[in-house]
Structure 1
Amino acid sequence: MSDTISGTVLSGVTLSSAQYADPVAIEGIIDVAGGNALVAPLTWTIDVTGTIAASDDGGVLLLAGGQIDNHGLVTAASDAVLSTSGRAFDIQNEASGTLASASGDAVKLSGGVTGSTLLNAGLISAGNAGIGLQIGAAVAVNEAGGVIEGGSAGVVLGNVASFDNFGTVGGSTGILVPIGQNYVDIVQGGLVSASSGPAISFTGGAVMTVTDTLTVLPGATFDGAAIGGQVADLVFGGTTEGTFVNPTQEFVQFNTISIAAGATWDLAGISTISSPFRNDGTLLVQAGDAIDFGAAVSGSGVIDLAGGFVDFANTVAAGTTIDFNAPGSFMQFNQSHPFSGTVEGFTPGDTIDITGFGASQQLSGTVAGNVLTLNNGLAPLYVTFATAPGPLAVVAIGGTNPKTFEVVVPCFRHGTRLLTPSGLRPVETLSEGDEVITLRGEVRQIAWRGQRRIDCRRHPVPESVLPVLIEKDAFGVGQPCRDLYLSPDHAIWIDGSLVEIKRLINGLSIRQVTVPTVTYYHVELESHDVVLAEMLPAETYLDCGNRFQFEDGDATISLFPDFGALARDPGRLYAPVVDGGPDLARIRAGLQYRVASRGIRQKAGNFQVVADGKTVAPVWSADRHRIYRLPPAPCDLKLLSTASRPAELDPASEDWRWLGIAICDAVLDGDPVDIAAPFFGRGFHGPEHAGDGWFRWTDGTATIDAAGARELAFTVRAVAPVWDVPAPSCGVSVRHRA
């Protein structure tokens, strides 16, 4: 049996078994000027294809639960649909259906119990200060195409509520979980917008218990922030790849953040994740993206570095895999926190930085099987690789505070890209006949490409072959577009001239790095030209008689090559070479200006006298004069100091020596020391004359032969200044990429 209300009814209807059968179909119009339009005192099934309207009170009132299937229109001054009982309900608002309130709540299901459901594919709307949907202890789904909107809030969720959104939710606040409401789960795969408040807000109280969850699916859109209130966990879920730009600007105050098993997410942009992070899926970090993890990282998933940057400031648990999946990927962790993850795919062009070392600490590494052991004189550090990584280099990075070491694959410029008609291509993939784009925009063919691998440890003059690192943006935004390595004598084009990169070293944005081995690639065109290496103009190869030093040249190979030993023929050069004078000083001054714009300044250096490894304090000090009491027995006496190269700090200087402290008027036990005496041991530069006196510089680590003397005195003529690199502020990492 069923019943139908058709035609037009102008008074309120109360469903009773004496008058109506269950279910009842509303095919006509119920239009009530006063009171509720339709009341169901008992459990009832109501199908609406017509119109229910109440201009003064509520639309449909369920006093004992029941079912509503709405294809029509329900409008009311207060609540369009209200359920107040402790009985289960099942409400479906179909695509053609509308549930609307002028000033109350469109749908208020406050008396539901577990097992109650609401499905919306149409429109649920509340005006003024009303709420679109208010629900507790039930499961609600807003389907794709469904709209729920309210004046104050689109959706308000109470205890044990579950809400899945694949449509649109809007209000002053999009979705609200009030204070004290627990075990609330939200799945967001649609649009949630807020006109003045947050898109989603979990409200924490004085006592915060984490019981709520927000799961974000691919395709989700937020117009406004999502606030966890420290009572909710954030989960990135789904089975297709999702992308979210700058997620930590949108998601705040979540207790934990995780990626679900089977989910893949690209968290693009620059983010600092301060909550514990668990990854059981795949996290993509693309080129140009950076994620700083401030809390512990765990899980059984993969962090896929596709040219991006990750910084682990806390522990990384076993089970986490860091997959270096594209050249130029970069990982950083702090030596004070265990790194127990596994590294995959580490290749030339990738970098691992270890931070947090004291200024005097050193770090060395050995590879045994698939484990890199890093020794710093205290507790060893371990980095586990999925497979044996082969030879690795551990390089100290200058200008970092605290001190940083890099782990790199010892190959030079493998992965460095040149601009071609098909885009930037790694130099090792180019060969004769391939085309490159020159600085003038011309497309030219490669006439020859040579390469040479060098063991820098065996080279008699390693400074002549060690690579020079040019940091990203060193010459301006996008020049280079990422870190670039060149041989010391390789020239770049700047201001209409060619300048060898070794003449532009400043110890910060351009610096020479120590590696055990290095591989150089050279590309030659039919005539000397300038191409774009990582978008920085750099010269092509010009044969000055040293082609034999590279593979693919003549059969003879030089044992210890020096790539800058032969002069360039000016008549064959693309542009004139600047190797000194005011033009070079002007170029270097411009680079120093860029360094200064990063907040880096020069500061005075410092020094100390050390006997048998212990600092000796002066017994007398006045102005620049010092007197020291030495130990009674013969001792290992050193003069240690900070050190710098004048040419790195002064654009007009051509002095590339390492200088520490300059002393004069040395005295042992009251007897003056001759400027050429054995007193000046290893680490002292030669004597220099100024005015009517002589002095000698150290290189930062100098040995003194005190010949058993008990008292040492000298005058400090100068202490070389050094760069003062600001310590990184909270949430900001100092990054060096290779």
Structure 2
Amino acid sequence: MATYHVSSGQVVSNQLVYGDVETVYSGGKTQDQTNAGQRFVLSGGLVANGSVSGGGKDYISSGGSSFAGVVGSGGIRFVSDGGTANVSVVVSGGVVSAASGARVLIPNVYTSGIISAADGAVVSRGYFSGTSATLAAASGALLEGRIDVTSNAVVSGGTIQSGGTVDLTYYASVSNTTVNSGGALYLHGSTSGSNLVLSGGSIALSGADVTGVAFKGSNGVLTLSNGGNYGLVQNSNGTALTNGNTINVNGGLVVSQTIGFGGTINVYKGAVSAATLDGGTLYLGATSASLNTITTSNGGTVIFGGTFNDPRVWGANYNVKYIVSSGAILNSTTVSSGASVTVMSGGTWSGPNFVNSGGNVVISSGAVLSGIQTVSSGGTMVLNGTAGTGVISLAGDGAHLVISGTSMPTNVISNWSPSDTIELASIPRNSVTQVVTTANGVTFYTTGGTYTLNVPGANTYGYELKSGNNGDLIYTTCFAEGTLIRTPEGTARVEALKVGHMVTTPKGDMPVKWMGHRAITVSSQPVPEENWLVRIRENALADGVPSRDLLVTQEHCMVFEGKLVPARMLVNGSSILLDRTLNSYTYYHVELESHEALWAEDALTESYLDTGNRDQFENNTVTALFGGAGHGAGSDSLPLDTSRAFVAPIYAAIAARAGVSDTQLQLTEDADMHLMTDLGQRIRPLRQAEGRVMFMIPAGVSKVRLMSRANRPSDVIGPFVDDRRTLGVLIGDISLQTARTTVALTAHLTDTELSGWHEVESPLYRWTNGDAMLVLDNQNRSSMEPSILSLQVVASGPYLKEQSQTDLRQAG
């Protein structure tokens, strides 16, 4: 046993045996020394070359360092905070142990050699080769530069920093390692990985297998190629793919991955198996790219692209969106409530396909339909022009087909039946001058042109022309009995009246010119709530008026002071209410020589006004009087007046007669304005002052949705307000300010197709519906730097505190 001191300026190369102790002071150096004892290297001291083995121990203190040399069997080199081990060669049984703050630079580690790194230690560059050549790092150890791992070597733990790369080849393995943003982990060929954490960096598998990747942070990328497999440990914490994280499959298999909001899996070649779509996006670019994928109630988006053509049966449920891109073929799909399918130009939707109640399908111009597409009651299909030769079957009452554009499809529209509707979204209702139905179809003559649809049996049923929310044309079949009409001989049931029978009016007795009736099933309608009957209870309007309960449709008008008021504007939930107990009924139209008032159940109501749809009705068990007449402004003899100034006092008098007090709804002026990005990020206002709301927009965000509370004025104020639009906030000017410039955004004031905005009423402002698109067009500067979005709020509120659209005054 000997004690040695290596002072400044000394260079020693003696051999240290077991029991020897040596201290290397600042400026001291050992050269080619063999250490089997204990060697303490203080700040400024240096150990160069040589070896540590046979029970030898090096203690590298803060400021001390070693350079090169071999750490062999039984040898340990301890590196303290601030100490450095450079270019150590670690062989079988040798260990380099780095404490927090220590640095291990360019180690070369061979069979059974070990680098051990604590939290906060740094391992920079290096080479690990041979069985059990090991980098054993705590999760907080930092891995920098390029580290090559091969020939059965092992990496366990550690965090790969920005600019750092760990590259595995030839049966090497990695586990419990984190890859931070800018860091990269490569696994080639026969290598493997497990329990990895991807935190903004990248992991690339080329023929390798990985079990368990936890996605943390954002914008991480996992890539598979050349047959690599990525299988996820079930129920691992943090494994959902969200927040911009992406898996790209260019060959290989992804197993049991949950795709959450903002997460994406792109399958170009290979497959994803037993995945769970939970709000994210799945791209399938090859046939059989998806095996047993399920969807949660959060839905998500599935994009079919490339050469996708899978013959299996597909089911779109919950809130899932299917998008069929150009070149892809989607077969045999059932679209359930809340789900949608969009077929883009060049994409093909091959039947048999089924659109169930609440399902929605959009066929873009240039897309192809083949086979039979069945649209059930409550289902909706939107066609943009001719789409192949596929048959569109409207199954059951209440199917809804929308045709966008003025190029009419030549597809056969079969099974046209009661309560089905076809909406011609680009043709104004007020432009129609004539409608001709035949056994083969229907032709609409308008001031702008002639449009024909291939609807076999169109002349079998009557039709009704209605105006949509934007004034577009809605063509529907329509089929009300038992109501008592006053005649010179007393009262007669409405269904018993015939052409030529006399009825009593305030202007005297008049003959019936025409009768029409149609049956309807409420639950089968696209918007059932608009089709419940209004029940006007006995004595609701005055003593004996009506003489017993009177049932009319919501749009049918009662007569007050010689003017028409739609029944829906009088509903108070007590004496006049929506009757939700009658799902099926037949309603009647009675036309006289002129548009006049008549008495039904001793209440004055309007007769039928011909708007060009007389030929639609059958001339064939609760009964109701009259359907919505589509009367526009009424007639000269009976003008329509839906102004609040006229209707509100009538409503108030009827409500007071019934003892109905003004319902005190729970209202708020808080619009709860916020923005949502494509990745599901919620952006709260930065500031609100002087009628403006400002938001901080992160770099890279090019579009957002303006979210707010939204209600119908008829719900918040009262049914006597003839405005049933769902209104969010009234927005004036919008500007986007960066550090260098301010840009005015005006699309919301001009773009009539902008999602979530009501029709343009003024060049200065426009209403949202509570979920409105904003495109942040700033000549791409929005992708380079943060910006401030400023919105002028012209009007808002009040809103119902509870966002229920059920009007308490309209309870049936």
Using the size of structure 2 for normalisation, the TM-score is 0.41
Q: Greater CA radius of gyration, 1 or 2?
A: 2
* Greater RCO (Cα-Cα under 8 Å, separation 6 or more): 1
